[in-house]
Structure 1
Amino acid sequence: MEHITRTSTAKAPAERFTGDVYLNMIETPAEPARLAAALVRFTPGARTNWHSHANGQTLHITDGVGLVGTRDGEVVRVSAGETVKCPPGEEHWHGGTDTTLMAHIALVVGDGQGDGTTWLEPVTDEEYAAALDATR
């Protein structure tokens, strides 16, 4: 057994996120296990870039209200206690609303070379505004 009492909070890298986002790693992929897990906190208006995961991603919302959107224009408003599963290869983004923070536990199974995430371009302000309008 390993008892980890706490992990350090780190600011998420600006090249992958818009706005202020903070991460606490829970688990990093290490053979033979390939699970990556993190507590991610988004301030109002903050969001990920577009991205996909080789083996999909599960997001469990722990606090606040947020948005999860896909390239085909589907957007869901999520709140504490809800879970969203993004299938392998699906390009998507997630973050807080314009007025509320959102925190989630992000779970991904790595591809043997890391966590299997492919990072893409930022979600534009226009795409974000459209997502907000679609979920009001």
Structure 2
Amino acid sequence: MVVPVEDANPLPSDDELELESELPPRQDRYRLPRRVVLVYNLFLLIYLLQRTEYARVNNQPVSSWLVLPVLLLSGLGGFLGGRWLSPFAGIWLAGVAGFFASYVGLSGPYGAVVGLITGLIVVLLQIEFSSGNEEE
């Protein structure tokens, strides 16, 4: 009995290899939970920024303009920590930056909460954009 040459080839065809390479990357299964957490925290941050009466120092309300340095410091801390250290370090650094802004008297404990939320948003955006670049 003679075996045809094409049936004896154990290597997969080009079509089979192409199907295997189109499998989604491992990070894709976390895309939806990441986006849900991101949207939730964006709405929470917007809510807190509209309620600046929660920002109190010595039981006195703080001006809404003093929340801007808290956002800038915590965003910078989240970006630098998430970029060069790790995502958890970015969130932690943003919270510490918000806390130190509140320690100076800018916004009270409100600054630490806004700092943590801002850091989480910044780190999630970094992860989202970096995972988008890996897929290309």
Interval of TM-score (by shorter of Structure 1 and Structure 2): under 0.3
Higher fraction of helix: 2
**Higher RCO (C-alpha under 8 Å, 6+ residues apart):** 1
Higher fraction of strand: 1
Larger Rg: 2
